[in-house]
Amino acid sequence: MASAAAVAADPVALQELVEDAVVWASQHGLLVGLGIDDPACAAVHAPLALLPVPYPRETFEQAKQAALAFNSMIDAVAADEAYLQEVLAAAAQEDEFMARLLRVFRETADVRHARQAVGQERLLAVLRSDYMLHAPTNSLLQVELNTIASSFGCLSTLVARMHRYLLGRLGASPAELAALPEHNAMNAIVDAMGAAVADYGTPGGVMVMVVQPGERNAYDQQWLQTRLWERHGVRTLRRTLAQIAAEGQLGADGRLTIGGRPVALVYFRAGYTPTDYPSEAEWAARVLVECCDAYKCPTVAYQLAGAKKIQQDLARPGVVERYAASPADAQLLRRFFAGQWGLEDLADADTAAVVAHAIANPDQYVLKPQREGGGNNFYGAALAERLRQGGPGLAAYILMQRIQPPPQRAIMVRRGQAAEADTLSELGVYSTYVRRGSQVMLSAEAGHLVRTKAATSDEGGVAAGFAVLDSPLLV
């Protein structure tokens, strides 16, 4: 089977394969928007790797096997209100966005507790646990667990199909094609949504997809609404938080309607960053949704449970063991934890020692705020400088061991232009979870995503412009 280096060595063959990839992507909806300044219909193929990346089969399967353990663990964390508030308190003092999320959490507690008391708390989780190979120890370490707006489930399904097509064009044998793992994250996520809407049980109940204005990744989202209609007959309304504030009506029975339509599920693809709340109207919409009796993906509790500070605290001795479903699950999850340290007590001797080591060796660490969406972390000299500044503001960050994945040659294609480079890859594993009261109706592993970036790039988000969509070739 042709490698990236072999394909890149033949300019004619390379150009033909790039053209094939761009045409396939355009024909099959592997697309992103061109941006808010372009017409609404303007699109281009998603940033993509021309060929799948070789990936160790054993570690790939380990990540898949951990999905259900992460499902049950994060559900238990989200249910422990005292733990969430205690662990996030210091970060909230320095981070206004975190403080506001906690305020929504507290303001809606009475409604939440009333539903819990009668077994009618409804939640859907679409999680994505992201990992990177750590070359020095040949281990798979978790980058983060995403509990809100876990994107690219649909486009990752399509890029895997595209790679199967392109490898076939290059003459791959059936045995070689078998190394491309089958998955359909698109349908798996949609079927979880369909299960939630069906359980809600209201005829004509719709899913409201909460979106950002001018969303460039709308095609990944719109695949979900298309498939939800095709597979389950459920209509989707795309609304910003501001539109929900203007159109939403909450009945005395807790039923939410948007434009007169009953809402069975609210699915957030926005709401994870401060810029999604430019006014009080957006916060009012978040409270409205939290108070309604529809399924929510996620609840505010789940969003808080996905905070970097919670991830760091779970890695402390004995903590994940409190929330894992079994000792075996706790042992399984702990094997994926990288080194992580809180920064709320800089006078603590152990914390001071780690900070001093990070200042002296900044390339071995990442400084992470309580933010989602990519492009927010500190690396290298900027990390060392922020740590030198010190101050109480560091309580809003966690310090994490920097994972050192092995570089591989890859051909990345953006807007029809190919570039070969040394790259690093990140594996994401999706999982879905549907629960009403104490009844877990679904807990499943739901496909995977690979994002590949230039080895010289610190960040790794596709939507943020740092990486390309990829798929694994198991070796």
Over residues 143-160, mean pLDDT? 98
Output the pLDDT for position 350: 95
Q: pLDDT confidence of 462, banded at 50, 70, 90?
A: low
Share of the chain above pLDDT 70, in %: 96
Binding residues for Mg(2+): 144, 146, 372
List where CATH 3.30.1490.50 sits in the chain: 339-402
| 10-22: burial string, b at 16+ Cβ within 10 Å, e else | eeeebeebbebbb
| Token pair for 320 | 């994940």
CB 25 within 8 A of CB 31: yes
Nearest to residue 15, comparing CAs of 419, 346, 453? 419
445 is catalytic: no
Residue 465 is predicted with a pLDDT of 59
At 191, the pLDDT band (50, 70, 90 cuts) reads very high
Of residues 121, 144, 282, 344, which has the active-site annotation?
A: 144
- For position 38, what pLDDT does the model report? 55
- Cα–Cα distance for residue pair 253/258, rounded to 1 Å: 15
Average pLDDT value over all residues in the chain? 95
Residue 308 bears catalytic tag: yes
Q: 399-435, pLDDT tens digit by residue?
A: 999 999 999 999 999 999 999 999 999 999 999 999 9
At residue 37 the predicted structure's pLDDT band, cuts being 50, 70 and 90, is low
Fold of 339-402: Dna Ligase; domain 1 (3.30.1490)
Is 368 annotated as catalytic?
yes
CB 235 within 8 A of CB 222: no
User: 61 catalytic, yes or no?
Assistant: no
128 is an active site residue: yes
Looking at residue 8, its pLDDT comes to 74
Q: Name the phi and psi angles at 202, rounded to 5.
A: -90, 120
Residues in binding site: 128, 144, 146, 148-151, 215-217, 221, 269-272, 308, 368-377, 379, 400-403, 426, 451, 453, 459, 462-463
Q: Helices 81-94 and 67-79: crossing angle, nearest 10°?
A: 80
Q: Which is catalytic among the residues 107, 373, 393, 414?
A: 373
In angstroms, the CA 207 to CA 218 distance is 16
- Is the pLDDT at 139 greater than 90? The verdict is yes
Q: Which residues are annotated as a binding site for ATP?
A: 144, 308, 368-377, 379, 400-403, 426, 453, 459
Q: Counting Cβ atoms within 10 Å, is residue 280 exposed (0-12), middle (13-18) or buried (19+)?
A: exposed
Instruction: Select which of 129, 146, 443, 471 is catalytic.
Output: 146
The one catalytic residue among 286, 296, 309, 451: 451
pTM of the prediction? 0.96
Which whole-number Å values give the CA distances from 364 to 40, 180, 258, 361, 380, in the listed order? 43, 33, 49, 6, 8
pLDDT tens across 165-178, in order? 999 999 999 999 99
The one catalytic residue in 368, 386, 435, 436 is 368
What digits encode the pLDDT tens for the residues 178-187? Answer: 999 999 999 9
* Tens of pLDDT, residues 43-80: 999 999 999 999 999 999 999 999 999 999 999 999 99
- Among residues 121, 290, 344, 372, the one annotated as catalytic is 372
**What is the band of 1 on the pLDDT scale with cuts at 50, 70, 90?**
low
Write down the catalytic residue from 71, 129, 151, 425: 151
151 is catalytic: yes
Question: Active-site residue 164, yes or no?
Answer: no
